[in-house]
Amino acid sequence: MTNHMLIVGASGVIGTGAVEHFARLQGWRVTALSRRRPVVADDVRFDHVAADLTDAAACTVAISTLPPVSHMIYAAVLESDDLVSGWRDEKLIALNGTMLTNVLDPVADCGHLRHLSLLQGAKAYGGHRHPVTTPAREDRPRDDHPNFYWLHEDLARARATRAGFALTVFRPQVLLGSAPGAAMNPVAAIGAYAAIARELGRPFACPAAAPTLWELVDTELLAEAFAWSTDSPAAHGQTFNVTNGDGFVLQHAWPDLAARLGHSDGGVEPRRLADLFAEPEVLIGWDRIVARHGLRVPNLAALLGKSHHYLDLLCSARIADKAAPFLLSTIKIRQAGFAPCRDSLDSLVHWLQRMVELRLLPSFVPN
């Protein structure tokens, strides 16, 4: 029997990775639901349905055109123009809840849904608001702060009980993928920075204010976790942290990263990339890069989305000055049976190269 995976929010960093992964698995039909068609390799076969998730009637019509949906990944999110402040916006939280309801209700009403993968993230532990004891574990009581995660989870668990499908909640850390225009994809920001540095003859300097410890997660690894959860009873009804399994310090990795991108190590120069990308000289330089390489997303802002603001936050003194690193325990998902891992520097370089292959970034190897 062919499974039918509906990936909601398919043009984002998580959704794009999931589309590519499930489209290559035998026995799966993939439908991507998003306003924009996901940017993937030409040989990735999937159906795309465009819909505005804030419009209940449009979602119902879109779902009615599909074959029975057996599995769903919900990776959609509506972010504020001011990325960080939007995480506390009550109206935005409510709207994100409405979006989930608008698509989950018609899918569940069809009676074929067997499993839902729901995305949260490390903000579930409140680390963006207050110190968090390390490592953060899934069995902690809910952190009492405004967040659409809790609204989503309550809606999904109630619907799962009524409709009889299984639910797995995932909490990844910093994501690495190839999606352009994403809210939180540092790969796009780092890649654009590397391209601009070469074009303008500027040093490729690490923008991080301190040797801050991060945890990254490869979106291909996350997609593997989605696939594992679909038919693993140990995953059903559970919440799992997901990371690559190692630690990553951008300042420490920078010399190797620079070398692998064909750059000299420019040392450390703490700065906001959002300011850099707004410079007139940079915008003119980017236009030259686009024309020379035939890039498919000519506008720099459209390529970056809000990812440069997100990378600025990760690199900021605000994060570096925290009393302890904000790390997630991944013991629970390992003990449940999912053990894959990735080297984070290799992951970062892999996705940078993938964006080159997709003509989203220029080649990093000088001609």
Q: Are 139 and 190 found together in one domain?
A: no
Q: Are 119 and 231 found together in one domain?
A: yes
Q: Are 288 and 230 found together in one domain?
A: no
Model confidence over 309-331: pLDDT tens digits? 999 999 998 777 775 788 999 99
Residue 72 lies in a domain: yes
Average pLDDT over residues 238-249: 98
Q: Are 209 and 291 found together in one domain?
A: yes
Model confidence over 182-205: pLDDT tens digits? 989 999 999 999 999 999 999 999
Average pLDDT over residues 157-180: 98
Q: Are 81 and 190 found together in one domain?
A: no
Residue 364 lies in a domain: no
Model confidence over 30-78: pLDDT tens digits? 999 999 999 999 999 999 999 999 999 999 999 999 999 999 999 999 8
Residue 334 lies in a domain: no
Q: What CATH number should be reported for the domain holding residue 252? A: 3.40.50.720
Q: Are 198 and 76 found together in one domain?
A: no
Q: Are 181 and 203 found together in one domain?
A: yes
Total number of domains in the chain: 2
Which domain range does residue 346 map to? 176-216+247-327+339-357
Residue 365 lies in a domain: no
Looking up tokens 């994060």 gives 319
Model confidence over 251-284: pLDDT tens digits? 999 999 999 999 999 999 999 999 999 999 999 9
Statement: residue 84 has pLDDT above 60: no
Residue 362 lies in a domain: no
Statement: residue 123 has pLDDT above 90: no
- pLDDT tier at 338, thresholds 50, 70, 90: very high
Statement: residue 229 has pLDDT above 50: yes
- pLDDT tier at 367, thresholds 50, 70, 90: very low
Q: Are 258 and 236 found together in one domain?
A: no
Residue 225 lies in a domain: yes
Q: Are 230 and 257 found together in one domain?
A: no
